[in-house]
Structure formats: structure tokens, C-alpha cells
Amino acid sequence: MDLDDQLFRYFGTRDMDAITPAALETGAERMRVDFGLESNSGRRFALWALMYMLGVAPDLDAAFKDPAERDTARDFMDMVDRAQEE
């Protein structure tokens, strides 16, 4: 999944800074629906990761039933949080 393509698909722009609050709300809802329907674990994780970076991700326990996927998501969260601190 290409980040620019996903931003354009859900928010109509490839520039994350150009996403308006209304577009974020609408796009986030579409992402939640697609996340719930997605059966490929890699694509599900990529959608969840983008939602996390945008602050609209579902809780880990609700998003990932598999403990290994939850651990991977926690690792991702830690990595993103460390990068933001730098």
C-alpha cells in the first residue's frame, strides 16, 4: 500500500497537511469500514497504521484478535511515538 495513494483514496489529497477536519472525519469513517471488511492481514495492518498516525485508529483489542498482531501494533506505536519525540 502506497501512503500517497491511500491519502488520495480516503481524503482526496496526497498532502497530509491539506486534510481538512471534515475530510478527516469522512475519510476516517471510510477507512474504518474498509478496515472491518479487509481480510488480508497486511492490508489491515497498513490501514490501522495510517489510522493510528491520523489519530483515528480503533483500540488494539478491538482491531486485532491475534496477540501477535497486537504486539506488532504496539511496536509500531512505540516507534511512531519515539520518532515524534525526536
Write the pLDDT tens digit of every residue in 10-20.
999 999 899 99
Among the listed residues 65, 47, 64, the one whose alpha carbon sits nearest the alpha carbon of residue 56: 47
> Is the pLDDT confidence value at 1 over 70?
no
Chain segment 29-67, per-residue pLDDT in tens: 999 999 999 999 999 999 999 999 999 999 999 999 999
Please count the structural domains in the chain: 1
Residue 70 zone, left/alpha/beta (φ > 0; ψ -120 to 50; rest): alpha
Residue 56 to residues 22, 49, 86, Cα–Cα distance (Å): 13, 10, 22
Start-end of H helices in 12-66:
21-37, 41-54, 60-63
With cell 520518532, the residue in question is 83
Three-class DSSP category at 22: helix
